[in-house]
Amino acid sequence: MFDVPHRRFDLTGRRPKVEEIMANFYALIPKTLITPKVRIIEALFMNPIYIIIAISWFSVFAAAQSKSISQEDYESAHRYALSETNGRFPFVHTFTSEIFENEKMIASSTHVTERQGEGLERQTFTNTENGKTTRSYQLRTGFGDNVYCSTDGKVWTGPQKYECPRSIRIYRPRTPISVEYSLTEKTVAGKKVKEYRKFEVYGGDGKGAEFDEEIALIDADGLFISTIHTMGNVQSKQIKTRLTNAWNLGAKFSPITVPKNLRSTPKAPTKPTTMTITTN
């Protein structure tokens, strides 16, 4: 054991006691600054439970600090992730849309796309509204007139050139009154990831300001893990719309081929594609 001003080192490898740590801590502080508040800190650190909590809190805080970034940094990361992720075949992409009213979900839809390669994909569309759930299916076995449609996943019509009829919701862009971009580096499931966030505020239409938040989780290779797009009211924090995307790279699924159970394509679709345009 040897002494250095204000510090004590033990070459034997013995772990110092909490009392010794606090003694060395006080040695660094002028006596005039040792107040009751400092004594409270000592009381807390004398309890091992509080030590564990403090270390855990510091680790999380140090590993996940957010910093402001530019619009170009944000959009550049998105562009790269979108082009690279959607080119890593095979993969499964899941898109979910949820619509809320007075904190209650009134409609939802889930689109699951199995992508085997360029122009090779299998899609399942599930929509729930007014307590009723409907499903439809689409196969694309190549570019051109290679689209097949089904309402049960068993009997198919096609081939045809255009997308199968379904309901589509389009979100019309608005001009925000403020925009913030930030980046948080964190560890998820033992892997380092980057969380990109865009937060926009809109003036509203007399019902109060509204927010539009996009959060993208991107892995160390710059590829998308997931995105969450949430829209709602700033004051009440009530969510109106939530859109999520998730990618499962390297997923395994049955090969995408021309369906065997085919019937003649009807001259006109029995249920045309419908589009809903919203500013939410």
**Are 226 and 179 in a shared domain?**
yes
Q: Is residue 23 part of a domain?
A: yes
Tell me the residue range of the domain where 92 lies: 66-117+166-254+267-280
Same domain, 15 and 111: no
The answer to whether position 150 is within a domain reads no
Same domain as 92, residue 11:
no
How large is the average pLDDT for residues 31-43?
52
Judgement on whether residues 87 and 19 belong to the same structural domain of the protein: no
Whether pLDDT at 76 is above 90? yes
User: What band does 23 get if pLDDT is binned at 50, 70 and 90?
Assistant: low
Residue 36, token pair as written in the block: 């009751």
Q: Are residues 19 and 113 in the same domain?
A: no
- The mean pLDDT value for 146-159 works out to 95
Scored b (16 or more CB within 10 A) or e, 16-26 reads eeeeebbeeeb
Does the pLDDT of residue 130 top 70, yes or no? yes
Q: Which of 48, 63, 78 is the last residue before a domain boundary?
A: 63
Indicate whether 236 belongs to any domain. yes
Do residue 55 and residue 80 come from a single domain? no
pLDDT surpassing 70 at residue 63: no
The fraction of the chain above a pLDDT of 90, given in percent, is 60
Look at residue 48 and tell me if it is in a domain: yes
Whether the pLDDT of residue 171 is over 80: the answer is no
225 and 184 in a single domain? The answer is yes
Q: Which residues pair with 268 in a beta bridge?
A: none
Tally of domains within the chain: 2
Domain for residue 260, yes or no? no
pTM confidence score:
0.72
Which of 42-46, 215-219, 249-253 has the weakest average pLDDT? 42-46
Q: Three-state SS for 51? A: helix
Please check the confidence at residue 124 and state whether its pLDDT lies above 60.
yes
User: Are 8 and 104 within one domain?
Assistant: no
In this prediction, residue 22 has a pLDDT band, given cuts at 50, 70 and 90, of low
Which of 18, 46, 63 marks a domain boundary? 63
* One domain for residues 59 and 77: no
Residues 107 and 83 in one domain: yes
Residue 275's pLDDT is 46
Higher pLDDT, 177 or 54: 177
What pLDDT is recorded for position 19? 56
Segment (H or E) for 78: helix 71-85
User: Is there a single domain that holds both residue 206 and residue 74?
Assistant: yes
Query: In this predicted structure, what is the pLDDT of residue 57?
Result: 44
Classify residue 159: in a domain, yes or no: no
Tell me the mean pLDDT in the region 139-161. 94
Instruction: Kindly report the three-state secondary structure assignment for every residue of the chain.
Output: CEEECCEEECCCCCCCCHHHHHHHHHHCCCHHHCCHHHHHHHHHHCCHHHHHHHHHHHHHHHHCCEEECCHHHHHHHHHHHHHHHCCCCCEEEEEEEEEEECCEEEEEEEEEEEEEECCEEEEEEEEEECCEEEEEEEEEECCCCCEEEECCCCCEEEEECCCCCCEEEEECCCCCCEEEEEEEEEEECCEEEEEEEEEEEECCCCCCCEEEEEEEEEECCCCEEEEEEEEEECCCCCEEEEEEEEEEECCCCCCCCCCCCEECCCCCCCCCCEEEEECC
Residue 215 lies in a domain: yes
The type of residue at 136 is: S
Same-domain pairing of 52 and 83: no
Tallying the residues shown for the chain, one arrives at 280
The answer, yes or no, to whether the previous bond of 5 is cis (omega within 30 of 0) is: no
Give the confidence band of 13 by pLDDT, cuts at 50, 70, 90.
very low
Query: Residue 75 is which amino acid?
Result: E
Residue 43 is assigned to a structural domain of this protein: yes
The residues near 220 (Cβ < 8 Å, ≥ 6 apart) are 191, 192, 193
